[in-house]
Structure 1
Amino acid sequence: MNVSSVNARAGRPGLTAYSTAKAGLIGFSRSLARELGPHGICVNTVLPGAIQVDAENTLPAHHRVRPEDQIARQCVPRRGQPADVAAAITFHVGPSASFITGQTLHIDGGWLMN
């Protein structure tokens, strides 16, 4: 399981290198899924959105988004939590997901749908 970002799909001004690297993880995962699938190994990518973590407080001011503004753009009206991402990863690395490979899963409260 690789962890990317919704910025891989949406892009973000001033974060071109970051968005490019995160998009590269999607291609990397899909290639590995094809390569390793015959050996019973599944490879997927999760794309977290605005997850509430302490590290967001270290972002430069011009890259910060007010939590209220982010929530207003999501279908699920709350902050994403690390546990939301962890639960998805836990499922995807377990036996119940043994036929899921080469996929990307957005964990963003529906933000990219808007």
Structure 2
Amino acid sequence: MTYIPLFTDQISEGYVILFTGLLIVFTSLLSLSLLFKYGLPLMLYIYKVITKRKDKKISEIKVEADRNFTGEIAAAIGAAVHLYLDEQHDHESAILTIKQVKKPYSPWSSKIYGTQNRL
């Protein structure tokens, strides 16, 4: 049995990888754009048909008032929220102190010994 060595050009392999990658990227972009353009409105229409709901406008929605909710309750809730948010932040002084630390001389970190030409 004889083996025939297959020599492929690396540049042609690069082109194959390039075109395959470009094909994958642009195909996925095209399919996503088609999904957002046509697929989502279709799904929303099907959902509306299935649920048989009528779309409501904001002006048609009635606000129900709670008679037990008074101004004192709203003030107490507002004060509690204000105190809670005020406690979350620490009040620190804005003074910054920088102390310079002097390192002692060490021959291990000196580069002068490595630059001399010793025989």
TM interval, shorter chain, is under 0.3
Task: Indicate the structure (1 or 2) with the bigger Cα radius of gyration.
Answer: 2
Normalized per residue, the structure richer in strand is: 1
| Structure richer in helix, relative to its length | 2
Output the TM-score relative to the length of structure 2: 0.22
User: Structure with the greater relative contact order (CA < 8 A, sep ≥ 6): 1 or 2?
Assistant: 1
